[in-house]
Amino acid sequence: MSAMSTYPVSVKGVLRAPTGEVVLLLNEREEWELPGGRIELGESSTECLAREIAEELNLAVQVGAPIDTYLFEVVPGKRVFIATYDCMLVGPFAPVVSHEHKRLGLFAPDTLPMHLPDGYRASIAAVCNTSVQPV
């Protein structure tokens, strides 16, 4: 009998700038991703997301409704369970990118960048009521 696989969990947020663009971050794999990260002991998924966005972007957010959950293959053979939430900015929009990412990108929901995983694309489309464009 094989051992059951377990997967790390990453909580991600669809956050829009006051102008309506979606906030994305460029990671070390040269892929765009939604802000967020791993849950720490003793915090809820929404507390995790608010903390991660504060750490990654120096922004205060209110975490809203869950959007989606799915298993994502980050690199071949390595999977992470992703939970995405709708987020709302609380306070000023003056993002500061942490050492975790290369840069910040602001994209209109209907002109998302190429190197953006399909799951994130679908979560953005669900929140922004746009269709998921074929890549």
User: pLDDT tens digits, residue range 85-132?
Assistant: 999 999 999 999 999 999 999 999 999 999 999 999 999 999 988 655
The residues pairing with 102 across neighbouring beta strands, listed in sequence order, are: none
- Are residues 111 and 130 in contact, defined by beta-carbon separation less than 8 angstroms? no
Residues in contact with 66: Cβ distance below 8 Å, sequence separation at least 6, in sequence order? 83, 84, 85, 86
CA distances from 82 to 11, 72, 90, 98 (A): 6, 7, 24, 21
The model's confidence at residue 133, banded by pLDDT at 50, 70 and 90, is: low
Domains of the chain: 12-128 (3.90.79.10)
